Structure 1
Amino acid sequence: MQSVEKLNIGYLRLFAISSSFLEKIGGLDVLPGRLVAVRGKIVGYMSTVNKDDFVAMRSLVFSLSEIYSLLDSKSRGTLPTTVLSHVSIGISFINSNSHDTFNSEICGEIVQAIFELFLLSSPHKAHDELTRAQHIVSYFVALHDLSTRIATVDCKMIRELFQENAKSWSAYIYGEIVDELVHISYPATDYSQASYIEALTCLITIDGSEHYAFLVKKISLICCSLVLGLGKITSSKLFIKILHMFETVLKKQPSLVSPFVFEQLSVFLILSTSRSGPSFIDEYDIDELYLSLCSVTSTILLSFSKFLRGHHNLVIRLLQNLLYPLCVPRPIGSNKRIEKSIQNHWKRAAWLSRTAACSASCALAYSRLTSNLCEPPARSWKDSRKRILADSSETSSLPLSSAAGVARRALSKHAPYLLVEYCYASLHYNFDPDTRHALTQGIYTLFDSLGQNELKIANAALDVAARAIFKTAYDDYLKFGKWHEI
C-alpha cells in the first residue's frame, strides 16, 4: 500500500512541474510516453489493492482518469479489464451495503470515474464497436440507477457524456442500440426498465441528430407499444419516467412529432387518466402523477397547436378526464340518485383510490391548461398562421380574419362539452373549497371563449339538476369573471 501512495504522490508531482522543466528533462513530446508508462503501473497496482480499500481504489481511478484526459486517442488505447471489473465490485457493494454511506459514496465515485474512462478509451478491435456501445449503455443504466441512491453520482454529467459519445457512433451502431433499447423497454411493465427508457430518451434527443427518418419510425413504434401495453404498467416511477421521456422529446425534438404520433400520444394520455389506465402497486404521490400529466399536456397545447385542428375532440376528452382526479367522491348512501350515478359513470383514473383527490395546486395546473387551450400565447398563433393561409381557399377574406380567430372558432365547437363535464362533476362529486376556488379562473376562461350559441348548446346538453349548477356558475362569471366596460 505504501508503494501505491508513493505512486500517487509522484504522479501529482509530475503534473505540478512547469512546462519549461519538462523541456529540460526531455521535452513535451515525450510526455505521452511517460504518461502511458505511469498508466500501466497504476493498472498493475490495481490488481494488488485490497478490494475493501475503496479509498485507495478511488485515488488510483482518479489518477487514471486524469492521464486519459491528457492523452490523445491513439495513446489512450483500450481500458484494461482490471479497471472495468471494479464497476461490478462497486455496484455489488452499494447494493449489499446501502447502510454504509461513506463507502457507498466512494464506490459511486469509482463507478462514475470508470464510466468516464471507458468513454475516453478505444475498442479492442474495429468489429468490437457494437459491443463497446452496448457496454456504454449498460454502464450508463447502472449509473443512472445508482444516482437515485448515491449523492456523489452526477446524473446530469453522465447524461451529457453519454450523449456526446453517442454522437460519434455510426448509423449502424446507433440504429442497433436504439432497436435494442426499444425491444427492452417496450411494452414497459416494471421499474427495472426505467433506466433503459432514460438511455433511450438520451439517444433520441441528441442535438443535431442525423437519423431523423429512423427516429420518426421508432417514435411511432414506441407510442403504439405504450398504448397497447398501458394496462401492464404497475410502477408509478416507471410511468412518470415515460411521461418525462415524452415531454423531453416534445421539447427537444419537436420535428419528430408527426400527426400520427400526436394522436397516439393523446390516446395514451386519455387512457392514462381513465378507468382503462394503469393501476400502480408501489407507493406514489398522486399530486406528482397529476402534475406530470398536466406538464405533458401543457407542452402539447403550447407547442403543437398546429395539430389541434381536427383533434380538438381528443384534447377535450383529456381535459374532461383530468377534471375527475380533483373531485372527492361523496359517501355511499348519501343520495341514492348520486350513488347510482357514480356506479354507472365512474370516470376517475384507475390509479386513484375511492376517497383520494388531488390538491389545490393541481387545480391551479388544470386552470392553466384551460387557459392554454382557450387563450394560447401569441407565438402559437404566429407559428400556425402560414399553415392556415395555405390551407384556406378563401384568400380574399383572410386579411379580415386572424389566425387566433380561426382557431377560436374551431375550438368553440368542442369547448361546450368541457363545461358540461364540469357541471356533472360538480353534481356527482365534491370539490374541496380551495380546489374549487383554484378551478374558478379556468372556468371563467372557458366561459370567455364561448359565444351565445355555444352556451345554448351546453345548457341543452344538461339535465335539470346540472342546469342549475350551470346557471350558478354562469351568474358568478357575469358578476366576478366577465370584463365589464366602464
Structure 2
Amino acid sequence: MLNALNTNSYHAILQSADQLSIGYVRLFSISSSFLENIGESDAVKDRMVVMKEKIVRFISKVNKNNFALVRSLVASLSEIYSHLDPKSRGTLVTVVLSHASEGIAFINSNPDDMVNSEICGEIVQAIFELLLLSSPPDTHDELGYVQYVVSYVVALQDLSPRIGTIDSKTIRKLFQQHAISWSPEVYREVVEELVHIAFPAIDYGQRKYIEALTCLITLDKSRHSPFLVKKMSLICCSLVLGISKTTSSKLFISILHMLESVLKEQPSLVSPFVFEQTCIFMILSTSRSGPAFSDECDVDDLYLRICSITSTLLLSFRKFLRGHHNLIIRLLQNLLYALCVPRPFGSNRRIDISIQIHWKRATWLPRTSACSASCALAYSRLISNLCEPPTRTSGKRISEDGHDASSFSLSSAAGASRRALSKHAPYLLVEYCYANLNYNFDPDVRQALTQGIYTLLDSLGQNELKITNASLDVAARAIFKSVYEDYLKFGKWHEN
C-alpha cells in the first residue's frame, strides 16, 4: 500500500494527522519516508511545515511520563526536518528540548527501569540530532548556541555507557560535522573552556568533557593548527602533572583514546615537546608513580592501548626519536614487567620489604597475575618497530656513477638510526635478564617474547653485547648466556 502512495493519499494522511492521535502520528512517520516517490511538491512541503508546528504543540501537551508517545512524535518531527530546508525548519523550541532534560533526569533516577531508559535514550539522541538540524536561536549569540550543543554532547557521552540505544559513534560524527561550521573565535573559546574544565584530570566526571574535547581537536581543519599545537602542549603538561590523581580506569582510557586520536588523525599537532611529554606520560602510567584505579579494569585492553600509542610514536614520529631513545627504552622496560609476576620469597621479611621498595610493576596491575600472551606479542612487535624501522622512498635518484643514490641515503639513515639505538638497547636486554631472575613468565608469554628478544639481539653488535654482559651480576649473566646461546641456535640467521 505504501509503495503505491500518491499525493492525494498523502494529503489525506496529513489531514487525518490533525487529530494527532498516536496511531496517526506513527502512520505519518512511516509515510514521510516515501516523499521521494511522490515528487515532494510545494503543497506537501507547506503542509509539512504546518504539521511540524502542530506536532510541537502536541509535544507540549503530552503527558511527561508517556515516553512511547514522545518518541513517536520526535520521530515524526525528525522525518519532517529531513525533508525541509534549514530556513523552513526554524529554531527547535524549548518545549521539545525540555523533553531531553526530562529523559536524562529519568535515566539517572531510575537505573533499574531498562525499558523506559532505552526509550528515553532514543528520545535524547533524536532531539540532539534535531537540535543540530535547527537554526541557532540567536545568530548574534553563536557562542551560547555552541555551548548548548556541547552540553548535549557531554550529557549523551555520560549516558552512553549505560544506555545501549545511544550511539556514541553517530553522536561524535554529527557533532564534528556541526563543529566545522563554527567560526574560529567560537571554536577556540569552546576548546579553551573544555581544556580548563577537563585538565588536570581529577575524577570520573571529567571523562565526558575529555571525549568532547577529543572530537574538536581531531577536526580536519588546518586553520586551527597553530592554536591547537599550543593547547596540545598544555594538555600534555597537565596529563604528566595530574597522572597520580587519575583514579578511574574509564577516565584513563578516555585520555589514552584522546592521545591516540591526535597521534593518528592530527599528526601536525605533535611537536617535539608534545612527543616528549607523551613519552613521559606513558612512562609514568606504566610505573609505580602511575594511576591507582578504584574500579576494575581490563588490564589486557589497557596494555594493548598503551602498546598501540607507543607503536604510533615509533612509526609515525621517528624524526623526534633522536635524543629520546632513553625515554622509549624506559617505557619498554616498564611494559616488560607487566608480562611477569614476582617470584614468591617465602617468609623472609627483609627480602619482601626489598621487593616492595624496588617494585617495578604498574600500580593498576594485579599483584599475582600478569598480562596475557597477546600482550606479549604486541610487546614483541614494539621491539621490531624500534629495531627495524620501515624504510620509505618517494622515488629514485641516480648518482653520477650510475648507482641508486636514494638507496645510499636510506642505508645511511638506517645506519644512523641503528647507531643511535645501539647506545640504549643493551639496557633493555639487561632489564630482560633481571626480570627472568626475579620474576616468573608464563610459558605462552615467554614464547611470544622470544621473537622480540631475538630481534633486539639482531640489532646489537659485539661491543653492545660486551656492555650487556659487563652490566650484569653473576646470576643474571648466566641467564644472558642461556638466552644468547638459544639465539645463536634458533634465532640467528645462518647461511647454511
Q: Report the more deviating stretch, 403-412 or 230-239.
A: 403-412
**1:421–1:335: structure 2 CA closer, same or farther, 3 Å change rule?**
farther
Residue number among 357, 363, 385 corresponding to 1:350 in the alignment: 363
**Aligned partner of 2:68: which letter?**
V
- Amino acid paired to 1:74: K
Alpha carbons 2:391, 2:410 under 8 Å: kept: no
Distance in 1 between the 2:455 and 2:294 partners?
Answer: 37
8 A contact 1:32–1:75 mirrored in 2: no
**Aligned with 2:75 (options 44, 62, 71):** 62
Deviation at 1:344, TM superposition (A): 4.3
Give 2:430's aligned residue. 420
Looking at structure 1, the residues matched to 28 and 408 of structure 2 have their Cα atoms a distance apart, in angstroms, of 77
Superposed, which structure 2 residues align to 1:331-410 within 5 Å?
331-333=344-346, 339=352, 342-379=355-392, 382=393, 399=409, 401-410=411-420
Alpha-carbon separation, structure 1, partners of 2:129 and 2:269: 30
Q: Deviations over 1:281-304 (max 9, x none)?
A: 111122122111111111111111
Q: How many residues align?
A: 470
- The 1:274/1:471 distance shift into structure 2, 3 A limit, reads same
Structure 1 counterpart of 2:162: 149
| Structure 1 counterpart of 2:3 | none
Aligned residue type for 1:198: E
CA drift of 1:434 comes to 1.6
Match of 1:233?
A: 246
Q: What is the CA distance between 1:128 and its match in structure 2?
A: 2.3
Measure, in 2, the Cα distance between the counterparts of 1:448 and 1:335.
40
Task: Mark the CA change 1:396 to 1:190 in structure 2 (over 3 Å): closer, same or farther.
Answer: closer
- Residues 136-175 of structure 1 deviation map (CA, whole Å, 9 limit, x = unaligned): 1111122122221222211111111000000000011101
Residue 436 of structure 1 aligns with which residue? 446
Alignment partner, residue 118 of structure 2: 105
Gaps of 5+ in 2: 1-16, 398-404
Q: Which amino acid letter does the alignment assign opposite residue 479 of structure 1?
A: K
1:480/1:134 CA distance change after superposition, 3 Å: same
* TM-score normalised per structure 2: 0.89
Q: 1:111 to 1:209 in 2, by over 3 A?
A: farther
1:11-39 Cα distance to aligned partner (Å, 9 max, x none):
655664677687xxxxx334443222111
User: Alpha-carbon deviations, 1:294-351, whole Å to 9, x = none?
Assistant: 1111111111111111111110011011111112112133778964652442211122
2:219 aligned with 1:206:
yes
Alignment map for 1:74-89 (pairs within 5 Å): 74-89=87-102
Q: 1:20 to 1:122 in 2, by over 3 A?
A: closer
Q: Residue in 2 aligned with 1:175?
A: 188
What is the deviation of 1:274?
Answer: 1.0
Deviations 1:76-106 (A, max 9, x none): 1110111000111111222222333222221
Q: Which one-letter code corresponds to 2:118 in the other structure? A: E
- What one-letter code is carried by the residue in structure 2 that aligns with 1:446? L
- SS of the residue 2:166 aligns to: coil
Farther off after superposition, 225-234 or 10-19:
10-19
Q: Which residue of structure 1 aligns with residue 6 of structure 2? A: none
Change (3 A) 1:346 1:110: same
The 3 A distance-change label for structure 1 pair 195 and 483 is: same
DSSP 3-state at the match of 2:140: helix
Corresponding residue for residue 316 of structure 1: 329
How far 1:4 moved relative to its partner?
A: 2.6
- Secondary structure at the counterpart of residue 127 of structure 1: coil
For the residues of structure 2 that align with 1:10 and 1:436, how far apart are their CA atoms? 64
- Residues 105, 150 of structure 1: 8 Å contact kept: yes
Deviates more, 1:448-457 or 1:286-295: 286-295
- Alpha carbons of 1:11 and 1:261: their partners in 2 closer, same or farther (altered >3 Å)? closer
| Aligned-partner Cα distance in 2 for 1:435–1:302 | 24
Give me the whole-angstrom Cα distance separating, in 2, the residues matched to 1:463 and 1:143: 57
Rounded Cα–Cα distance in structure 2 between residues aligned with 1:475 and 1:17: 76
| Structure 1 counterpart of 2:315, from 302, 305, 321 | 302
Amino acid at match of 1:156: K
- One of 246, 265, 290 as aligned partner of 1:252: 265
Q: What corresponds to 1:4 in structure 2?
A: 21
288-297 vs 6-15, which moves further:
6-15
Distance 1:310 1:190 in 2: 35
1:209-224 correspondence to structure 2 within 5 Å: 209-224=222-237
Q: Deviations over 1:219-250 (max 9, x none)?
A: 00000001011110000111111011100100
| SS of corresponding position for 1:47 | helix
Q: Which moved more, 1:106-115 or 1:331-340?
A: 331-340
Deviates more, 1:155-164 or 1:342-351: 342-351
Matched, 1:242 2:225: no
C-alpha distance after superposition, 1:170-225 (max 9, x if no partner): 01110111011101110112222111111111101012342010100110000000
Give the distance between the partners of 2:366 and 2:25, measured in 1 at CA.
61
What amino acid is the match of 1:3? Answer: L
Match of 2:11 in 1: none
Match of 2:483 in 1: 473
- Distance of 1:29 and 1:127 partners within structure 2: 31
Stretch moving more, 179-188 or 401-410:
401-410
Conserved? CA contact 1:205–1:249, under 8 Å: yes
Distance 1:473 1:325, change over 3 A: same
Question: What is the alpha-carbon distance in structure 1 between the residues aligned to residue 39 and residue 299 of structure 2?
Answer: 64
Q: What RMSD over aligned residues (CA atoms) do the two structures have, in Å? A: 2.4
> 1:62 is matched by which residue type in structure 2?
A
Work out which of the residue numbers 163, 171, 187 in structure 2 matches 1:158: 171
State yes or no: 1:454 paired with 2:464: yes
Query: What amino acid sits opposite 1:413 in the alignment?
Result: K
Of residues 349-358 and 34-43 in structure 1, the stretch that sits farther from structure 2 once superposed is: 349-358
Gaps of 5+ in 1: 23-27, 387-394
